[in-house]
Each structure stands twice: as C-alpha cells, then as structure tokens.
Amino acid sequence: MNVRITLRVDGEERSTTVDSRTTLLDALREHLSVTSPKKGCDHGQCGACTVLIDGRRMLSCLKLLVGCDGSDVVTANGLGAASGKSEAVRDPAGELGGLHAVQRAFLDHDGFQCGYCTPGQICSAVGMFEEAAAGQPSHVTTDLADERIVLDDAELRERMSGNLCRCGAYVNILAALRAAQPRSPAGRAPSELPEDGA
C-alpha cells in the first residue's frame, strides 16, 4: 500500500509517496535524492546510515518512513551554517566555514579515510554530545549519580560503538571527538574540568 509522507529534511519540507514498507534510508536516497546517509549493512549494525530524527540519533535503515511523518530529519548535509545552526564554526582566517564543529574537527584531525562512514559518524557524534549534555549515562559511565557526564576516551568509544569504520580510522575519529566536545563557559571540555566543575 502506498502512503504519502511529509517530513522536514535538512530544514526543507519534503513530501513523497512510497510503499508503507520503505525505510527512511531508502526514501532519502532513492526518492528524495539525499545521499549523505549511506547504506552499509542495511541491518542496523554499522551506523553508516545514522541521521538525527527530531534531535535524536537513529539508524535510518531500521526506521520505516511512515513513522517519520511530520518529523524533522537532519543528515550530515544539514548541519552547520547552511542550516542556521549556532554550532557553525569559523575557520582560522575568520571566515564562516559553514561547517558544524564536529564536521570541522573531523577535517582537522583526519577523522576519515575513504569517507563512506563519515556522515553517519558525524551525525552520531552530534547526537551523542546532546545525549551526554542531557545527562544520559552509557554502559561505562562511572558515576550514575553525577548529572555531569565526563566524556573521557572510554565514554566516547562506548557512545560511538555503534558506528563502524571499515578503514580503521578510530584513532583519528577519537581525536576529532575530543576536539569537538562542547566547551563549558570557562572554555574547557567536560573531560578537562576539575572535580568541582569550575
């Protein structure tokens, strides 16, 4: 059975008519010509298709499009200055780079090799930072009573473990994640803060 779905993709309202069994990934790539999310495994095991749906990271290969009617979907293409997001960063020359802070960190730290998994890695990282800021613990969070999540290397690895890199660029991805961590008002990443949080 075909259904008409309307959703917002990277800030633009889009509509399409698809079979009710169509996944968000297939609709994005085949019906809406949004190719940033990649089809890696098509079974929810690699993370190459990760997008943000209403601000939460999700695997688009497992999400049916009918469940996204009216949703706001953001791909790696929709992050940064082009989308009006405040996380856009300035390049060293002072020009607006148009990139989200996570995108800039991946470039600065060579957090990719072939680049196939990179859009999913970036969307997952943006969602991961939001989850940590909201106080959502992971399996390796050391102090569940503390509302402030310290994003040390173990936390970053655990929180990004659903995103695989076929090229093995994990060392550089971790360096990019460290650099992209949201800063406190004092200008330090959460993992750099002293115990009292000052």
Q: Which residues of the chain have pLDDT under 50?
A: 86, 88-96, 185-188, 193-198
Give the pLDDT of residue 190.
52
Give the pLDDT of residue 90.
44
> pTM of the prediction?
0.85
Give the pLDDT of residue 189.
56
Sequence ranges of the chain with CATH classification 1.10.150.120: 86-192
Q: Rounded CA gap, 68 and 63, in Å? A: 8
Give the pLDDT of residue 182.
86
Give the pLDDT of residue 148.
84
Give the pLDDT of residue 83.
52
Q: What is the pLDDT of residues 42-94, one digit of tens each?
A: 999 999 999 999 999 999 999 999 999 999 999 999 998 555 554 544 444 44
Give the pLDDT of residue 81.
59
- Please state the CATH superfamily assignment of the domain spanning residues 86-192 in this structure: [2Fe-2S]-binding domain (1.10.150.120)
Give the pLDDT of residue 188.
44
Looking at the domain that runs over 2-77, which CATH code has it been given? 3.10.20.30
Sequence ranges of the chain with CATH classification 3.10.20.30: 2-77
